């Protein structure tokens, strides 16, 4: 306990230099897989004293995963849409159950009561004192073989070439067949409610448009225009993604558990993460081929 | 329906949209019923045909054509400001659309919200697209601001206090009435004369006040006779609260300003008003409601050098969260979560959590210690026992007795662990002086070195002195021990069986955790916050936990305990500052007298002590401040003097304090609380009892310069600025238009009373204080100028100035006028101020936190394991000295007597926060506080519930010795039941009951109120669940206030025993 660490005489690099270094290192994707997935497992076998040496250079400053994903995104957007494949990776070890993603999504898309795109499922497992709470964020899985699209009587919901399962609000008739068809309960119905409808006044934030699918969808209590009456679901914040921004849930994820990017780009962060030994998908046995991957 | 609270805007038709009617004109249910596809075929065919082109257009759109530019991604849609859904004060990016506050996310320039954060020079176009992180409640802040139950005009009660009947009045009438006082409620048949500010502002002459203050102090200490005082100040005795006790101060002290949450910038503005201009000593914050004892423990242990330290989460290898965590509250989940999760997954960080409940942190931790509530101090000593038994403490660090020895070992700090302490009548009383033994001077201490006494000076930089760690001996007839010996004696005084029985933690559970804590050199730390300290022994429990950090010597080391990166000084007074705010006052008042809470005051220094002796009528608090729960009970009791005007601000003691319901009767009684003004954004659980409600601006509409906490290890200064259209009524003062808010009130009252420090020449000749920005922009100019000469930020470019204007174009002129803002600061600083405003603050680059193996920003001071100044003071209720070394004695009343537990109420009550809510003011947040969980539950272990024959989901009532019926009265009409559904879980220690603290509102838009004769319907969703404070124990001696830690002042939340009954 009396060992005093040596004063390190590291050459001083400015933070900007370091950021630049990490950026270029990341672009080459050289050896940084160690930062993800496999690393925890590998490290457990290394003696503590060595771990210290191994850890220090990598952590200060840490890589900003959001910065990296924004770069990945920029690259992907330069390609034709058909060549992109948007996927999400959620590291359950990093999910703290804070639900910032759920609310971020509500606010970004101005979701009304009863409509939720990204709940976090909470469960308790074990008995005292060997007990833990588990948190599982559950967006739309954007299945490769979506069970929701074939049942739509008006072809309002469909899979885009970039893999996003979308809804055309102008076409949707609100029959809710897709709600029943989804094995993940990822769809909810917009009954045209307002949080403030029983209050003295419906405030402006509830009436402002949302920008889903790149359109302005006004929400007026006097006019039941779309998406009121429609089925609604997560669209990976397509309106943001197409503008070079990450989905709202990914940007705000407090634990840094949510990753997003183009799976077709082998240098992207999500491509690396999908290769983790911790990877799993929900209800794989259904053959839906979800594009949301979990690290457990 | 017109919103009677919103008297400013035009009435708006509210309609209830009918979900049954399809937007396409076809009734959805009809459609489904009419044989689905068959019945709808024609319609469908028509819709499909119409929509196909659009559909295909969307489907095949290329990357460049299909999506228009996202308006919220433009820098002109962004204002960077600072959150205040909790005191973490995250930096937020507020995005507006067409003047509507549309989205709140994190500010990527800030280390709190983006890890690592963007370089300060990053262009606004780039940062606009990089959203930072913000927690659920932060993002739901839109609903705190745009709450349909916001108060927009001044409300005056139109019935007895608490009757929920109001009339709206003009701002001018309000100012006139509260300044002049009189028969303000005559129309209600009340002929009482209410005091006004003019009457309470009794002592006005600054030089008289100064002379009286000096002499009154002498009377208090007994060095000047009362008769002599009266002779000297005969002409002004009528200005005193009590001429027979002049040391209680002038009548001005009758104005008591009680803020719940008030932060830097606004805090100094209010203190300027209350202290410097009005001359009252009584301005308060709420700190004892949170964790004040934790601050006082840090303060005493560090010799008053800091009151807050946090683990360096970026570098630590093991962190133990003790009664707190990184994922729910603390400082706070937004900045701390990712530091922990990336640490865990990417660099092998291990974590442990001490908490009776399976918190979100415990859910993710390697170790969970479900301690019995109130046993934290004992658990800390169990840790110490193991550390002493196994020699797992930093002996080399602890043996350094002075600065020179620390420097020789390359240690930034040293301790008094080896400094000999004199034991008098069995208690550690004081430090041994070298002069006591005749081996040195009065200001030198003594250590034993190889069994011989050695004199030393603590700050001696050239003669390193190390001491023997464990000493118990007698020198020249004086019994002495080292602080480390005293700690070891206490640690060893209990067997492992005793520790397990007190704490509920077996050696098997404890050992792996304490082994981890002592296996990482300096790179391990314990974060301690509310859990261990909101107890009657809070100060000592906190100090015991801090002692564990000291024993591993982790202070100022990377990965250890850090004082944080600090901030630039917005109040100025530094060599580079543009304005020295504390000097910019033409005639400060020499306020005097004890605060009404008797805080930071020794009972023995006042004339009341010499008359009455021990016990005092109520506790005096020599070490602590902002003893929130004591303000109203002291005011109402009139001890040490009666109050005249109570003004609450952004706080709700009735809902937030343990046993806050006891205050309801006090507040409803104008004899005990003569004038009650509440500054609030809604009609809240406390403001509902006020005579007047002064509408305030929410944090998204106004200014501030909050400080950063030590979990952020790089230098950071934050700015809060108007980011949304103000919703309160716009008024005019001397031709200046501004929305009603706290500052507007202060300016109006100050001008009416002609108080120096405000209005014309308020700062000094030619420098006026007529508007909010006259104050706040000077603070921001100080940030832009920096603390050192030349440490300035760049000028905003022309393009940045354009964005600055465009982003604020939607704000009304009364809030934003470039011309007026410009006038508030020195011309050469204006473009720099814009540069800071455009980024929401000032931030040093990421990566600047460390200095080799150390923190860059160091405390570097002597650590006090023996706190001599604590040992020297007496408990005013018992006359006994406080202990100077951390100790565990269980839970006790204010006089130090153990609490009586008769066993009738078998469960220990704890409270906690969900990550998506605040304590008392997030119930308007439909996205978070209501949509995520629409009520709270009474949480209990499954086995306990089975024993009581209760089942999950059943409605149950919470009862205690204080409240055996589990109900309380809020006004003439309503009695509230403490009833909620039971939730049975495995994740709570058996014998414990947990209730979250967000729900159970009876005001804040949850109930009907009458305004101007019109009924405003409440939203029942806001009334769901229960607030547990009405079962919480009062102190058995004082009886009108909750249990309180007599040293740290913390309000006790976790020492009430309860039971749960079927409702």
- On whether residue A11 sits in a domain, the answer given is no
Averaged pLDDT score across all residues of chain A: 84
Q: What is the mean pLDDT of residues A123-146?
A: 97
B964 close to A (CB below 8 A): no
Q: Measure the CA–CA gap between B843 and B715, rounded to whole angstroms.
A: 6
Q: Are residues A164 and A279 in the same domain?
A: yes
- On whether residue A246 sits in a domain, the answer given is yes
Q: Which of B151, B153, B161, B201 is nearest to B185 (CA)?
A: B161
Q: Are residues A179 and A37 in the same domain?
A: no
* Secondary structure (3-state) at B621: strand
B39 close to A (CB below 8 A): no
Number of domains in chain B: 2
Q: Are residues B753 and B863 in the same domain?
A: no
ipTM greater than cut 0.85? yes
Q: Are residues B366 and B477 in the same domain?
A: yes
Nearest chain A CA: its distance from B641 CA (Å): 43
* Secondary structure (3-state) at B487: helix
Which positions ≥6 away from B398 have C-beta within 8 Å?
B415, B417, B418, B469, B484, B550, B551, B553
- On whether residue B966 sits in a domain, the answer given is no
Number of CB atoms found within 10 A of residue A293's CB = 23
- On whether residue B184 sits in a domain, the answer given is no
Q: Are residues A225 and A111 in the same domain?
A: yes
- On whether residue A9 sits in a domain, the answer given is no
Averaged pLDDT score across all residues of chain B: 93
pLDDT value of position A18: 38
Residue B109 binned pLDDT confidence (cut-offs 50, 70, 90)? very high
Which positions ≥6 away from B541 have C-beta within 8 Å?
B293, B376, B377, B380, B532, B533, B535, B888
Nearest chain A CA: its distance from B843 CA (Å): 13
* Secondary structure (3-state) at A41: helix
Number of CB atoms found within 10 A of residue A20's CB = 12
pLDDT value of position A39: 32
Q: Measure the CA–CA gap between B290 and B332, rounded to whole angstroms.
A: 14
Q: Are residues B805 and B865 in the same domain?
A: no
Partnered with residue B95 across adjacent β-strands are B78, B103
Query: Which residues in chain A have their CB less than 8 angstroms from residue B500's CB?
Result: none
Q: Measure the CA–CA gap between B526 and B324, rounded to whole angstroms.
A: 10
From its phi and psi, is residue B333 left (phi > 0), alpha (psi between -120 and 50) or beta? alpha
- On whether residue B681 sits in a domain, the answer given is no
- B576 with B790: CB under 8 angstroms? yes
A99 close to B (CB below 8 A): yes
Q: Do A204 and B146 touch (CB under 8 A)?
A: yes
pLDDT tens digits along B852-903: 999 999 999 999 999 999 999 999 999 999 999 999 999 999 999 999 888 8
pLDDT value of position A62: 61
- On whether residue A3 sits in a domain, the answer given is no
- On whether residue B79 sits in a domain, the answer given is yes
Q: Are residues B866 and B781 in the same domain?
A: no
- A170 with A91: CB under 8 angstroms? no
b/e for B329-361, b at 16 or more Cβ within 10 A? Answer: bbbbbbbbbbbbbbbbbbbbbbbbbbbbbbbbb
- On whether residue B310 sits in a domain, the answer given is yes
Q: Are residues B470 and B550 in the same domain?
A: yes
What is the DSSP annotation of A9-40?
Answer: -PPP--HHHHHHHHHHHHHHT-SGGGGSTHHH
* Secondary structure (3-state) at B908: strand
Residues 261-320 of B with CB under 8 A from A: 314-315, 317
Nearest chain A CA: its distance from B751 CA (Å): 35
Computed on alpha carbons and rounded to an integer, the radius of gyration of chain B in Å comes to 30
Q: Tokens in use for B718?
A: 């934050």
pLDDT tens digits along B456-491: 999 999 999 999 999 999 999 999 999 999 999 999
Q: Measure the CA–CA gap between A166 and A148, rounded to whole angstroms.
A: 10
A71 close to B (CB below 8 A): no
- On whether residue A92 sits in a domain, the answer given is yes
Q: Which of B107, B84, B78 is nearest to B808 (CA)?
A: B78
B10 close to A (CB below 8 A): no
Q: What is the mean pLDDT of residues A179-201?
A: 96
Q: Measure the CA–CA gap between B143 and A33, rounded to whole angstroms.
A: 41
Say which range, A195-199, B5-9, B299-303, B1013-1017, has the weakest mean pLDDT: B5-9
Q: Are residues B776 and B865 in the same domain?
A: no
Q: Do A80 and B847 touch (CB under 8 A)?
A: no
Q: Which helix (H) or strand (E) holds B155?
A: strand B154-157
pLDDT tens digits along B533-563: 999 999 999 999 999 999 999 999 999 999 9
Residue B3 binned pLDDT confidence (cut-offs 50, 70, 90)? low
Q: Measure the CA–CA gap between B626 and B642, rounded to whole angstroms.
A: 18
Residues 841-900 of B with CB under 8 A from A: 845-850, 852-853
Q: Measure the CA–CA gap between B853 and B409, rounded to whole angstroms.
A: 13
Partnered with residue A136 across adjacent β-strands are A121
- On whether residue B392 sits in a domain, the answer given is yes
Number of CB atoms found within 10 A of residue B723's CB = 26
Q: Would you say residue B76 has pLDDT above 90?
A: yes
Residues 223-242 of A with CB under 8 A from B: 224-226, 228-230, 238-240, 242
pLDDT tens digits along B140-197: 999 999 999 999 999 999 999 999 999 999 999 999 999 999 999 999 999 999 999 9
Q: What is the mean pLDDT of residues A86-103?
A: 98
Nearest CA in chain B to A36: B346
Q: Measure the CA–CA gap between B783 and B653, rounded to whole angstroms.
A: 34
Give the up-direction half-sphere exposure of residue B569: CA atoms within 13 A in the CB hemisphere.
14
CA dihedral over B21, B24, B27, B32, signed as positive or negative: negative
pLDDT value of position B6: 65
Q: Do B67 and A91 touch (CB under 8 A)?
A: no
Q: Are residues B786 and B865 in the same domain?
A: no
Query: Which residues in chain A have their CB less than 8 angstroms from residue B847's CB?
Result: 14-15, 18, 60-61
Nearest chain B CA: its distance from A285 CA (Å): 28
Nearest CA in chain A to B34: A175
Q: Do B393 and A1 touch (CB under 8 A)?
A: yes
Nearest chain B CA: its distance from A284 CA (Å): 25
Q: Which helix (H) or strand (E) holds B1015?
A: strand B1014-1016
Q: Are residues B863 and B730 in the same domain?
A: no
Give the up-direction half-sphere exposure of residue A171: CA atoms within 13 A in the CB hemisphere.
21
Q: Which of B521, B517, B523 is nearest to B548 (CA)?
A: B517
φ/ψ (deg, to 5) at A35: -75, -20
Q: Measure the CA–CA gap between B641 and B250, rounded to whole angstroms.
A: 11
- On whether residue B185 sits in a domain, the answer given is no
Q: What is the mean pLDDT of residues A200-229?
A: 93
Q: Are residues A289 and A188 in the same domain?
A: yes
User: What is this structure's pTM?
Assistant: 0.91
Q: Tokens in use for B278?
A: 């009005």
**Tokens 């850090």 sit at which residue?**
B562
Q: Measure the CA–CA gap between A229 and A207, rounded to whole angstroms.
A: 16
Nearest chain A CA: its distance from B719 CA (Å): 21
A218 close to B (CB below 8 A): no
pLDDT value of position B66: 62
Which positions ≥6 away from B1033 have C-beta within 8 Å?
B658, B659, B899, B960, B961, B962, B1042, B1043, B1052, B1055, B1056
- B3 with B682: CB under 8 angstroms? no
Q: Measure the CA–CA gap between B777 and B543, rounded to whole angstroms.
A: 40
Q: Measure the CA–CA gap between B362 and A252, rounded to whole angstroms.
A: 22
Q: What is the mean pLDDT of residues A133-162?
A: 97
* Of A104, A135, A201, Cβ closest to residue B14: A201
- On whether residue B263 sits in a domain, the answer given is no
Q: Give residue B614's Cα distance to chain centre.
A: 32
Q: Measure the CA–CA gap between B1049 and B1045, rounded to whole angstroms.
A: 5
- On whether residue A50 sits in a domain, the answer given is yes
Q: Are residues A49 and A164 in the same domain?
A: no
B23 close to A (CB below 8 A): yes
Whether cis (ω within 30° of 0) applies to the bond prior to B615 is yes
B341 close to A (CB below 8 A): yes
Q: Are residues A50 and A70 in the same domain?
A: no
Q: Measure the CA–CA gap between B771 and B761, rounded to whole angstroms.
A: 13
Residue B784 lies in domain: 73-134+705-843
Q: Would you say residue B265 has pLDDT above 50?
A: yes
Nearest chain A CA: its distance from B112 CA (Å): 11
Residue A57 lies in domain: 20-63
Query: Which residues in chain A have their CB less than 8 angstroms from residue B368's CB?
Result: 129
Number of CB atoms found within 10 A of residue B476's CB = 11
A272 close to B (CB below 8 A): no
CATH code, domain with B455: 3.40.228.10
Q: Are residues A90 and A135 in the same domain?
A: yes
Q: Environment class of residue B25 by beta-carbon count within 10 Å: exposed (0-12), middle (13-18) or buried (19+)?
A: exposed
* Secondary structure (3-state) at A202: coil
CA distances from B75 to A205, A282, B95, B97, B288 (A): 20, 39, 9, 12, 41
Q: Would you say residue A34 has pLDDT above 60?
A: no
A151 close to B (CB below 8 A): no
Which positions ≥6 away from B495 have C-beta within 8 Å?
none
- B341 with A96: CB under 8 angstroms? yes
Residue A223 binned pLDDT confidence (cut-offs 50, 70, 90)? confident
Q: Are residues B756 and B796 in the same domain?
A: yes
Partnered with residue B479 across adjacent β-strands are B474
Q: Are residues B763 and B795 in the same domain?
A: yes
Q: Environment class of residue B450 by beta-carbon count within 10 Å: exposed (0-12), middle (13-18) or buried (19+)?
A: exposed
Q: Measure the CA–CA gap between B128 and B112, rounded to whole angstroms.
A: 17
CA distances from B73 to A245, B99, B180, B1046 (A): 8, 15, 52, 52
Whether cis (ω within 30° of 0) applies to the bond prior to A61 is yes
Q: Which helix (H) or strand (E) holds B952?
A: none
Residue B67 binned pLDDT confidence (cut-offs 50, 70, 90)? confident
Select from A29, A48, A63 the last residue of a domain.
Answer: A63
What is the pairing mode between strands B938-941 and B992-996? Answer: antiparallel
- On whether residue A268 sits in a domain, the answer given is yes
Query: Which residues in chain B have their CB less than 8 angstroms from residue A243's CB?
Result: 67, 69-70, 73, 129
Q: Are residues A148 and A268 in the same domain?
A: yes
Q: Are residues A120 and A27 in the same domain?
A: no
Number of CB atoms found within 10 A of residue B1008's CB = 10
pLDDT value of position B4: 61
Q: Are residues B378 and B456 in the same domain?
A: yes
Q: What is the mean pLDDT of residues B58-62?
A: 35
Select from A40, A63, A86 the last residue of a domain.
Answer: A63
Strands (E), B593-723: 645-649, 675-680, 692-695, 716-718
**Tokens 């008053």 sit at which residue?**
B304
Partnered with residue B675 across adjacent β-strands are B645
Q: Are residues A146 and A261 in the same domain?
A: yes
B789 close to A (CB below 8 A): no
Q: Are residues A160 and A221 in the same domain?
A: yes
Q: Would you say residue A236 has pLDDT above 50?
A: yes
B37 close to A (CB below 8 A): yes
Nearest chain B CA: its distance from A169 CA (Å): 10
Q: Do A96 and B852 touch (CB under 8 A)?
A: no
Number of domains in chain A: 2
CATH code, domain with A186: 3.30.70.20
B148 close to A (CB below 8 A): yes
What is the DSSP annotation of A144-165?
Answer: SS-STTTT-TT--EEE-TTS-E
pLDDT value of position B587: 97
- On whether residue A15 sits in a domain, the answer given is no
B41 close to A (CB below 8 A): no
Number of CB atoms found within 10 A of residue B872's CB = 14
Q: Are residues B866 and B759 in the same domain?
A: no
Q: Are residues A101 and A130 in the same domain?
A: yes
Total residue count of chain A as it appears in this document: 296
Residue A224 binned pLDDT confidence (cut-offs 50, 70, 90)? confident
What is the DSSP annotation of B415-464?
Answer: ESTTS-EEEETTEEEEEPBGGGTTSS-TT-EEEEETTEEEEE-TT-SSS-
């Amino acid at each position: 306990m009396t060992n005093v660490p040596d004063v390190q005489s590291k050459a001083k690099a400015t933070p900007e230099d370091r950021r630049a270094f990490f950026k270029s290192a990341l672009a080459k994707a050289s050896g940084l897989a160690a930062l993800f997935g496999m690393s925890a497992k590998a490290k457990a076998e290394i003696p503590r004293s060595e771990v210290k040496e191994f850890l220090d250079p990598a952590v200060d400053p840490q890589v900003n995963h959001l910065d990296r994903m924004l770069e990945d995104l920029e690259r992907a957007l330069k390609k034709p849409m058909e060549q992109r494949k948007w996927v999400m990776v959620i590291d359950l070890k990093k999910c703290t159950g804070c639900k910032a993603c759920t609310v971020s999504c509500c606010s970004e898309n101005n979701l009304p009561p009863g409509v939720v795109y990204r709940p976090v499922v909470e469960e308790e497992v074990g008995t005292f004192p060997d007990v833990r709470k588990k948190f599982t964020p559950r967006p739309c899985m954007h299945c490769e073989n979506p069970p929701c699209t074939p049942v739509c009587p008006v072809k309002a919901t469909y899979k885009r070439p970039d893999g996003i399962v979308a809804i055309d609000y102008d076409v949707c008739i609100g029959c809710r067949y897709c709600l029943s068809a989804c094995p993940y309960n990822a769809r909810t119905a917009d009954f045209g409610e307002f949080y403030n409808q029983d209050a003295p006044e419906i405030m402006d934030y509830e009436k402002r448009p949302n920008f889903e699918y790149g359109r302005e969808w006004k929400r007026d209590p006097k006019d039941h225009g779309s998406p009121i009456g429609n089925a609604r679901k997560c669209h990976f914040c397509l309106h943001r993604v197409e503008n070079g921004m990450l989905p709202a849930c990914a940007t705000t994820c407090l634990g840094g558990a949510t990753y997003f990017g183009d799976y077709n780009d082998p240098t992207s962060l999500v491509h690396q993460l999908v290769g983790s030994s911790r990877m799993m998908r929900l209800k794989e046995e259904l053959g839906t081929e979800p594009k949301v991957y979990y690290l457990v | 329906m017109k919103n009677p609270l919103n008297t400013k805007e035009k009435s708006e038709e509210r309609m209830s949209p009918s979900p049954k009617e399809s937007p396409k004109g076809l009734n959805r249910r009809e459609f489904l019923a009419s044989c689905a596809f068959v019945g709808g075929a024609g319609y469908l065919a028509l819709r499909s045909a119409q929509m196909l082109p659009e559909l295909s257009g969307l489907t095949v759109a290329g990357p460049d054509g299909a999506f228009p530019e996202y308006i919220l991604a433009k820098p002109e849609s962004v204002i960077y400001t600072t959150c205040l859904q909790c005191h973490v004060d995250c930096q937020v990016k507020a995005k507006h659309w067409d003047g509507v506050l549309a989205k709140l996310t994190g500010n990527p320039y800030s280390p709190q919200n983006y890890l690592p954060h963007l370089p300060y020079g990053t262009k606004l176009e780039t940062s606009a697209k990089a959203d930072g992180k913000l927690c659920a409640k932060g993002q739901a802040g839109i609903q705190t601001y745009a709450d349909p139950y916001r108060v927009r005009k001044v409300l005056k009660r139109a019935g007895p206090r608490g009757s929920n009947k109001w009339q709206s009045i003009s701002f001018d009438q309000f100012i006139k009435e509260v300044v002049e006082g009189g028969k303000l409620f005559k129309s209600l048949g009340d002929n009482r004369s209410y005091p006004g500010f003019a009457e309470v502002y009794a002592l006005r002459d600054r030089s008289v006040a100064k002379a009286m203050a000096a002499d009154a102090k002498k009377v208090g200490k007994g060095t000047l006779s009362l008769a002599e005082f009266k002779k000297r100040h005969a002409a002004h005795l009528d200005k005193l609260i009590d001429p027979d006790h002049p040391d209680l101060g002038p009548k001005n002290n009758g104005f008591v300003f009680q803020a719940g949450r008030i932060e830097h910038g606004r805090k100094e503005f209010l203190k300027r008003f209350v202290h410097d201009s009005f001359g009252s000593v009584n301005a308060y914050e709420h700190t004892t409601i949170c964790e004040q004892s934790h601050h006082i423990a840090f303060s005493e242990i560090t010799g008053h050098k800091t009151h807050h330290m946090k683990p360096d989460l970026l570098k630590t290898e093991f962190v133990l969260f003790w009664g707190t965590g990184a994922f729910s509250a603390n400082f706070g989940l937004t900045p701390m979560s990712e530091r922990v999760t990336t640490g865990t997954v990417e660099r092998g960080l291990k974590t442990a959590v001490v908490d009776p409940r399976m918190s979100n942190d415990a859910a993710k931790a390697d170790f969970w210690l479900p301690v019995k509530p109130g046993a934290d101090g004992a658990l800390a000593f169990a840790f110490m026992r193991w550390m002493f038994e196994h020699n797992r403490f930093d002996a080399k660090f602890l043996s350094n007795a002075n600065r020179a020895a620390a420097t020789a070992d390359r240690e930034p700090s040293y301790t008094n662990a080896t400094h000999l302490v004199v034991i008098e009548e069995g208690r550690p009383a004081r430090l041994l002086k070298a002069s006591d033994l005749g081996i040195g001077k009065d200001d030198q201490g003594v250590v034993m070195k190889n069994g011989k006494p050695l004199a030393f000076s603590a700050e001696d930089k050239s003669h390193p002195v190390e001491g023997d760690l464990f000493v118990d001996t007698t020198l020249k007839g004086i019994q002495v021990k080292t602080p480390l010996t005293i700690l070891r004696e206490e640690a060893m005084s209990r067997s492992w069986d005793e520790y397990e029985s007190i704490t509920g933690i077996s050696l098997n559970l404890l050992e792996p955790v304490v082994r981890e804590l002592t296996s990482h050199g300096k790179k391990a730390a314990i974060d301690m916050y509310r859990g261990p300290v909101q107890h009657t022994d809070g100060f000592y429990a906190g100090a015991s936990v801090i002692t564990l950090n000291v024993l591993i010597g982790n202070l100022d080391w990377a990965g250890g305990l850090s004082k944080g990166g600090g901030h630039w000084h917005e109040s100025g007074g530094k060599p580079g500052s543009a304005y020295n705010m504390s000097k910019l006052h033409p005639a400060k008042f020499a306020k005097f007298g004890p605060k009404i809470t008797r805080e930071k005051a020794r009972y023995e220094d006042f004339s009341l002590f010499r008359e009455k002796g021990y016990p005092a009528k109520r506790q005096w608090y020599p070490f602590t401040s902002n003893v929130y729960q004591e303000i109203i009970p002291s005011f109402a009791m009139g001890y040490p003097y009666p109050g005249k005007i109570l003004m609450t601000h952004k706080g709700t003691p009735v809902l937030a304090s343990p046993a806050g319901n006891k205050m309801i009767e006090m507040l409803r009684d104008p004899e005990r609380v003569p004038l009650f003004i509440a500054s609030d954004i809604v009609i809240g659980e406390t403001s509902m009892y006020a005579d007047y409600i002064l509408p305030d601006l929410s944090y998204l509409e106004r200014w501030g310069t909050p400080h950063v906490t030590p979990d952020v290890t790089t230098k950071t200064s934050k700015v809060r600025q108007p980011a949304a259209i103000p919703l309160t009524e716009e008024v005019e003062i001397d031709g200046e238009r501004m929305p009603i808010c706290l500052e507007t009130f202060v300016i109006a009252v100050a001008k009416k009373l002609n108080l120096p420090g405000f209005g014309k020449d308020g700062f000094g000749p030619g420098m006026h204080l007529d508007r909010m920005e006259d104050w706040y922009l000077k603070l921001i100019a100080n940030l832009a100028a920096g603390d050192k000469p030349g440490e300035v930020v760049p000028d905003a470019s022309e393009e940045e100035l354009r964005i600055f204007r465009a982003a604020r174009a939607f704000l009304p002129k009364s809030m934003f006028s470039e011309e007026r803002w410009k006038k508030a600061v020195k011309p050469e600083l204006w473009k720099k101020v814009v540069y800071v405003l455009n980024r929401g603050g000032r931030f040093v680059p990421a990566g600047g936190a460390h200095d080799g193996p150390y923190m860059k920003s160091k405390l570097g001071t002597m650590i006090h394991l023996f706190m001599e100044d604590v040992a020297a003071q007496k408990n005013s209720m018992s006359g006994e000295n406080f202990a100077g070394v951390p100790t565990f004695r269980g839970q006790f009343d204010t006089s130090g007597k153990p609490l009586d537990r008769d066993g009738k109420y078998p469960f220990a009550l704890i409270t906690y926060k969900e990550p998506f809510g605040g304590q008392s003011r997030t119930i308007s947040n439909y996205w978070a506080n209501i949509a995520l969980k629409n009520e709270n539950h009474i949480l209990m272990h499954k086995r306990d519930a089975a024993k009581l024959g209760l089942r999950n989901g059943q409605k149950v009532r919470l009862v205690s010795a204080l409240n055996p019926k589990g109900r309380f009265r809020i006004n003439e009409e309503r009695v509230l039941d403490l009833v909620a559904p039971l939730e049975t879980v495995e994740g709570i220690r058996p014998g414990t009951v947990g209730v979250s603290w967000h729900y159970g509102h009876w005001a804040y838009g949850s109930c009907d109120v009458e305004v101007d004769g019109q009924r405003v319907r409440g939203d029942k969703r806001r009334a769901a669940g229960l607030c547990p404070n009405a079962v919480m124990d009062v102190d058995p001696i004082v009886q009108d206030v909750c249990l309180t830690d007599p040293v740290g002042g913390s309000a006790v939340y976790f020492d009430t025993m309860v039971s749960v009954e079927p409702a």
